[in-house]
Amino acid sequence: MAERVWERFLTEQDRAHLAMTGRRHVGFGERPALLLIDLYRWVYGDEPQPLLEAIEDWPGSCGLAAWDAVPHIQTLLQAARDADIPVVHATGLDGAGIEGWSRRRGGLYSGGDSPEMEERRKRQYYIIDEVAPIDGEAVIRKSSPSAFWGTPLTGHLNYLGVDTIITCGESTSGCVRASVVDGCTNRYRMIVVEECVFDRHEATHAINLFDMDQKYADVAPLAEVLEWVADWKARGNGGGSH
């Protein structure tokens, strides 16, 4: 296997511990769903820009890391749709009179009060066109980092008989991790697709992938997940069985 993204951040003691203890894979189950977390305008902006330029107009941007993930997410999303795997989109809850989780910190990435910024805030939770929901796909709105907290996600997945959640989106260290931990807590098999998650900071992205892979999920390359999805479909699991 190619070197994992986190390996260059590990110490000698980390490596020695891993060599002694190893890890067991979570593995896929039999009834998957695809969960896309927070693929909205606030982290993309209107066009690809390097992070330090993008945050001038879009303070919550993930810069080019967000845009670089789009083709991979599109590939995964199309594979899931072709295999009739249920798809769930998660985005922010806004305009419902419920303050978001970041308000106690003054609103993360507030960006000032100019008319231009107010216009951007109105669009901040719009899922980008490149991965927009289609008819029949669930869209949940959340007011916390986790896609599970305060949402009908668990009920929806239980109704579908889902046991495995293939996960992508942002940020690796924030809403993805929170959702993965809650998914694990609810006894789902959590699969994080490495090329389909991203963050603002390279180090936190890498180490949170490592930590999730050690404790709560399998962090798998996109090619491996696509191979599993194709095999799952070939075994006759698609075609409206959900």
Any idea which residue has 């980390």 for tokens? Answer: 14
The full DSSP string for 43-112 is: HH-SS---HHHHTTT-TT--THHHHHHHHHHHHHHHHHHHTT--EEEEEE--SSS---TTGGGT-TT---
Q: Can you tell me the distance from the alpha carbon of 130 to that of 151, in angstroms, rounded to the nearest whole number?
A: 24
Q: Can you tell me the distance from the alpha carbon of 29 to that of 31, in angstroms, rounded to the nearest whole number?
A: 6
Q: Which of 62, 168, 175, 196 is catalytic?
A: 175
- Is 175 an active-site residue? yes
What phi, psi does 229 have (nearest 5°)? -60, -45
Instruction: Please state, in angstroms and as integers, the Cα–Cα distance from residue 91 to each residue in 57, 146, 238, following that order.
Output: 20, 10, 26
Residues acting as catalytic residues: 175
